[in-house]
Amino acid sequence: MLRIINVVGARPNFMKIAPVIEEMRRRSSRIEPLLVHTGQHYDESMSDSFFEDLQIPRPDINLGVGSGTHSEQTARIMVEFERVLLEHPADWVVVVGDVNSTMAASIVAAKSLVRVAHVEAGLRSRDRTMPEEINRVVTDSLADLLLTPSRDADDNLLREGVAPHKIRFVGNVMIDTLYRNLERARASQVLDRFGLKPGQFCAMTLHRPSNVDNHETLSGILDALEVIGEQLPVVFPIHPRTRERLDQFGLTERIRKQSSLVLTEPLGYLDFLRLYSNSRLVLTDSGGIQEETTVLGIPCLTLRQNTERPITVTEGTNRVVGNDPAVITREALAALERQASPARVPELWDGHAALRIVDAIEEAS
């Protein structure tokens, strides 16, 4: 019997681990999974309905570490997770993504001589000003099994000297969750709630410090939204960090006066999936949305200088445009004029990554 501790630290991690846990539970005669939530991101919307609506397993253990600086948070996770490993000896620790919890749990497991499997290994932005990039590099250097979502991730790991036998190309597990919930999301009333018609609006997310922590940058993005809004409404679920900065910089009143901007609190997964899957264009600085829009064939502009998911550009519908308002405006208007592309689904983004992930862990045991 394999004992496997699966570690998550934020909402997107739950989306990625859910199909993996489900697959492990199908093999209950051979695998005993445990789900640990570090509490890195405390989210009030992670109520009972969050788990029930998305059929996501509730954590067996919640470390409740809360917020703090990167160093404080990482240290607290390490201290608490070490206690978990002492109380629950395991054969494997599975980590997902690139948050602080991913790196912290990997360090503790490696020092405890417990094998580490990293889901979504090998992604690189090559921008070490991003905390996530540090987390990715450290985690991959420690992992015993590197489960990659795309062929370019394999290439990154090989260039860094990772032994080929440790690398397994399994596909993108986030797409498992997307496919599983597309039909269920159709029951969402979010479009009716905001008076939206499919294909006649733009969806946007914005939260990264490089975009929202500087007054001039954030104000410039609002300039671009005003121009884009002359063509179609822009639906903007505001991240708490972004809302704080808008208040801090005195931009809240300005954004409320933009009649074409539909402001809302952060949406639940099913509502947000219903929203962006029916949009004409997506503006984002998120990672996962670049992947999901690629699968759905929706034009996406990534408001960053780089992406750790280049396959969404080379094979998908994504364009990396940075945060210059003139460039954002130009690319958005061009995207609206172009005919929407048919979905070009990258290799093994087929909804069966979780099966391959669990197969790989069993075969490596």
Domain extent listing, the chain: 2-171+349-364, 182-337
Tokens at 84, concatenated: 């978990």
Cβ(235)–Cβ(196) below 8 Å: yes
162-200 burial code (b ≥16 CB/10 A, e <16): beeebbbbbbbbbbbbbebbbeebeebebbeeeebeeee
Strands 92-96, 61-62: pairing kind: unpaired
Phi, psi dihedral angles at 262 (to 5 degrees): -95, 105
Q: Which residues contact 314 (CB under 8 A, 6 or more apart)?
A: none
- DSSP bridge partners of 203: 235, 282
CB atoms within 10 A of CB 155: 14
Task: For domain 2-171+349-364, give the CATH number.
Answer: 3.40.50.2000
Start-end of H helices in the chain? 11-26, 48-54, 70-87, 100-111, 131-142, 151-159, 173-185, 190-193, 209-212, 215-228, 240-248, 252-257, 269-276, 288-296, 311-314, 325-337, 353-364
SS3 state at 181: helix
Catalytic residue among 88, 165, 207, 352: 207
Taking only the tens of pLDDT, the chain with its 365 residues reads 999 999 999 888 988 999 999 999 999 999 999 999 998 766 555 555 567 777 777 899 999 888 889 999 999 999 999 999 999 999 999 999 999 999 999 999 999 999 999 999 999 999 999 999 999 999 999 999 999 999 999 999 999 999 999 999 999 999 999 999 999 999 999 999 999 999 999 999 999 999 999 999 999 999 999 999 999 999 999 988 899 999 999 999 999 888 899 999 988 889 999 999 999 999 999 999 999 999 999 999 999 999 999 999 999 999 999 999 999 999 999 999 987 767 789 999 999 999 999 999 999 99
Task: For domain 182-337, give the CATH number.
Answer: 3.40.50.2000
Fold match between 2-171+349-364 and 182-337? yes
CA distances from 205 to 228, 281, 290, 343 (A): 15, 12, 11, 21
118 counts as catalytic: no
SS3 state at 31: strand
